[in-house]
Amino acid sequence: MIEKLMDIKEAADYLQMNKMTVYKLAREGRMPAFRVASEWRFRKDLIDRWLMGQLKGKPVEAEMGMEEPEAPKIILIVDDEDVIRDFFSNTLTEYRLLTAKSGEEALEIIKKDRPDLVLLDLKMPGMGGMEALRRIKKIDKTITVMIMTGYGTPAIKKQALALGAHGLMAKPFELPEIKSVIKNSFESKARAQK
């Protein structure tokens, strides 16, 4: 018989925890959970083992006989257009997404919460993408930055790459292209760290 999976509310009730706490633990990969479409689901037997590991002070992975779950990658979307930020928030659900509507706001977020990847618009009011890129690399040169632009001339691409950008994505873009670029940027960063 296949065991019924619990949703977040059922898991929170079972664990006698706040729903947001359960959601955060699942999203950060600190609790055994599965994504079914865009919803989190939990298996009672894995939750029980995880809970026993927490109570005994043992790492979850050792108790469950599994490798440490990988926390979702963090992507910061920096674009002054609401529609672009909303598009990414609604489509890149497998990642932890942060958003900023200006270069200045992006820098404040990066100082507190280091993303794995920044998708950075080139043309924004106030601090533009090139200056934001320059400052991001001063804060942490290991952060991967991909420039998004509708103005992708060879000179702009050359300047962005010289400042440390991973590459350029031309607007408008298609979802499969975006997912491929993101996957490739994470894979190339993993190879570089080996």
Res 180: pLDDT: 85
Res 61: pLDDT: 44
Res 136: pLDDT: 94
Q: Which two tokens stand for residue 145?
A: 């930055």
- Please give the model's pTM, rounded to 2 decimal places: 0.63
Q: Which residue in the block uniquely carries the two structure tokens 């998708």?
A: 119
Torsion sign over Cα 95, 101, 105, 106: positive
CATH 3.40.50.2300 intervals, the chain: 74-193
Res 4: pLDDT: 74
Res 145: pLDDT: 94
Q: Using DSSP, state whether 192 is helix, strand or coil.
A: helix
Low-confidence spans in the chain with pLDDT less than 50: 1, 59-68
Res 56: pLDDT: 62
Cα–chain-centroid distance for residue 92? 8
Res 1: pLDDT: 43
pLDDT per residue as tens digits for the range 12-33: 888 888 888 888 888 887 888 8
Q: Phi, psi at residue 12, to the nearest 5°?
A: -65, -45
- CATH tag for 74-193 (out of 2.115.10.20, 3.40.50.2300, 3.40.50.300, 3.40.50.1000): 3.40.50.2300
pLDDT per residue as tens digits for the range 31-68: 888 777 678 888 888 888 877 776 665 544 444 444 44
Q: Using DSSP, state whether 189 is helix, strand or coil.
A: helix
- On the CB side of 50, how many CA atoms lie within 13 Å of its CA? 20
